[in-house]
Amino acid sequence: MGMGLLFDATRCVGCGACSSACKEQNKLPGPVEEVLTAYTWTTVQPREGLNVRRMCMHCEVPTCASVCPVAALTKTPDGPVVYDAKRCMGCRYCMMACPFEIPKYQWDRPVPIVGKCILCAGRLKEGKQTACAEACAYEATVFGKKEDLVWEARTRLRQKPGEYVNHIYGLTEAGGTSVMAISSVPFDKLGLKTKLPGEPPAMRTWQVLSNIPDFVAVWGVLLYGIHWITARRGEVAHAEAKNSGSENRS
């Protein structure tokens, strides 16, 4: 199931240490911005008296990876959805398709690439946790195996039922994500997308795409059949016209 993050909005004080650590880790230029951009992969936004982290959710079946024509975006077994900038041709379908509106583009560069959180895939390979989780002094963002994090989140919801909305954001959204969140305020009020289908959006296009081979075979035979029949009909009509003109020999 891989690794993931659990974000607890009730614990976040909004210090921004996670965003700064992310900038440093991924060598992103400029100061931390208020919204996600190609140069700010995570940011903390004040909402409803709480602070909420915005970052890539690292879907179990990522929409971005399914739509990328050159497979520049891929889900690794460890959990991160990583981006291979050398493959990307810049069609920006990932930005269009992402239900969480995460991938951002370098609109100001003549040779632009996509920017988004990659869950510190390199650090994970070395056995380390993400830079943001390491930087968090309040355990608002914790790193771990996804099943452990789900367990932890359930425990918190059970132990303090009055302090949390009874829902783990990310457990079912868009088919489930490696990054999850819990909060004392409904998630839509925090600016998170809540009207997401429970099945991964990628299934909707795959249902169509997986039928293409069958379609090509049937459509090809049908089209040739139509040609065959109409051409034969033409030949017969032609021959009959000829016959009726000359003597009938049958």
Beta carbon nearer to another protein, 13 or 71: 71
Among 4, 170, 175, 201, binds another protein (CB under 8 A): 201
236 binds another protein (CB under 8 A): no
Among 126, 162, 195, 244, binds another protein (CB under 8 A): 195
Beta carbon nearer to another protein, 151 or 206: 206
Among 233, 236, 240, 243, binds another protein (CB under 8 A): 233
DSSP calls for 128-180: PPPHHHHH-SSSSEEEEEHHHHHHHHHHHHHH-GGGS-S--BTSSGGG-BSEE
Nearest to 230 by CA among 220, 241, 238, 219: 238
Residues 19-48 that bind another protein (CB under 8 A): 35-38
The DSSP bridge partners found for residue 182 are 8
Contact 171, 56 (CB under 8 A): no
Contact 132, 21 (CB under 8 A): yes
Rounded to a whole number of angstroms, the minimum distance from the CB of residue 195 to another protein is: 6
The single-letter DSSP state of residue 188 is G
Among 46, 125, 155, 209, binds another protein (CB under 8 A): 209
Alpha helices in the chain (DSSP H): 17-25, 63-67, 93-97, 121-125, 131-135, 146-159, 202-209, 212-245
Size, binding site for another protein by CB under 8 A: 58
Rounded to a whole number of angstroms, the minimum distance from the CB of residue 182 to another protein is: 22
Rounded CA gap, 152 and 100, in Å?
24
Residues 79-138 that bind another protein (CB under 8 A): 87-93, 95-97, 99, 101, 104-113
Rounded to a whole number of angstroms, the minimum distance from the CB of residue 243 to another protein is: 20
197 binds another protein (CB under 8 A): yes
> By CB under 8 A, which span of 4-12, 155-163, 177-185, 190-198 interacts with another protein?
190-198
Beta carbon nearer to another protein, 19 or 63: 63
Contact 165, 181 (CB under 8 A): no
Sheet containing 141-145: give its strands across: 141-145, 3-8, 179-182
* AA letter at 113: I
Query: Residue 226 in 3-state DSSP?
Result: helix
Q: Provide the binding-site residues for another protein, judged by CB under 8 A.
A: 35-38, 63, 66-72, 87-93, 95-97, 99, 101, 104-113, 193, 195-197, 201-202, 204-206, 208-209, 212, 215-216, 219-220, 223-224, 226-227, 230-231, 233-234
